[in-house]
Amino acid sequence: MIELKSSPENTAQPLGLAVQIEMLNALSRVFSAGGENLDQTLARLTQAYGSWLEARLGDLPGDQELLYQLKEGQEREGEKRLVYEFNRLFVGPQSPPAPPYESVYRYGERQVMQKSTLDVRQWYRSEGLSLAGRSNEPDDYIATELEFAAYLLSNAIEQYRKDQPQKAKVYKDRYNAFCHEHLAVWLPSFVQTLSASTREQFYITLGKIIQRVVKPV
């Protein structure tokens, strides 16, 4: 629970950000932990999405149905075919049909390590962050971008805790700018590709949740 010196009206803001952060981190972990860890990451995602809906951040038709589908997927997370499908869609060994990298969807060439990769690297560096020695993935990997978005909102909450709403707004504005410049640009194409590339309902549901959750605040 976050305690603030501000009014009850303002208290709702950081609480809403907290569930947004948890959703972004839960989505990030689904990809970074890999298909073999779906039993853990799906449980966290289901809990986070339930909290997200309770906070009234989700208000679109079908949101409760998506939560039901997540819970249904959680009951099946041990099925080898979900693990196999994760690897087929996102990893390989053959060319994956839905590569989770921004550059693949930005320039019509379906190639990684393009301009967007360098652009998001500059975003990370502007916050004093670096992936050196931490990951073999390009900087515009979906898990890393989602984690960075959560990081920006976490800094906003930290400023609310210090009773610094103007500094908090700076981080919220940076989060929204990152969404507009990157996440909102390529994730719709990624989700469309994902949905067209699988018959597993879980991954179609995952795509729909990404579209609902990853947005400006």
Q: Tens digit of pLDDT for each residue in 126-181?
A: 999 987 656 688 999 999 999 999 999 999 999 999 999 999 999 999 999 999 99
Q: Which domain holds residue 38?
A: 9-213
Alpha helices in 98-141 (DSSP H): 102-106, 115-126
CATH of the domain at 75: 1.10.3480.10
Question: How confident is the model at residue 15, as a pLDDT?
Answer: 75
4 lies in some domain: no
2 lies in some domain: no
Q: What is the pLDDT of residues 30-39, one digit of tens each?
A: 999 999 999 8
3 lies in some domain: no
Q: How many structural domains does the chain have? A: 1
- Please, what is the average pLDDT of the chain? 88
85 lies in some domain: yes
Question: How confident is the model at residue 59, as a pLDDT?
Answer: 65
- Picking from 113, 81, 78, the residue whose alpha carbon sits closest to that of residue 99 is 113
189 lies in some domain: yes
pTM: 0.90
